[in-house]
Amino acid sequence: MVNILLCCNEGMSTSFLVKKMQEVADKNSLKVKIWAVSEPRVDTESEEADVVMLGPQIAFLEGKIQERLNNRVPVEAISAEDFGRINGAAVLKRALTLVKNHRAANA
């Protein structure tokens, strides 16, 4: 199971992306949990996350959020293009790649 946390200003714009990502995961029989929260909740909500993906509107906080999470999990901003197009497949693929690379680096 891979836990993917999406984070944006209010946690609402990412909810559409969560749905699309889950559809792609289900179609491909991938065991994932994907949920979205607002930025102030990322510290507590990330405790079970394997990766944190940020909405482009808060991409400028990537470094600060990475520090707040003590580099425990990868944190990366979603590309504005993928976010705008609600490209669940691309965002899911990127999130899974980040988790794989993080796990390999910490093995």
Largest Cα–Cα separation, the chain = 35
CA–CA distance, 58 with 55 (Å, rounded to integer):
6
Catalytic residue, candidates 4, 8, 32, 78: 8
Catalytic residue check, 8: yes
Handedness of CA 53, 13, 3, 43 (dihedral sign): positive
Residue 8 pairs in a beta bridge with 38
Catalytically active residues are 8
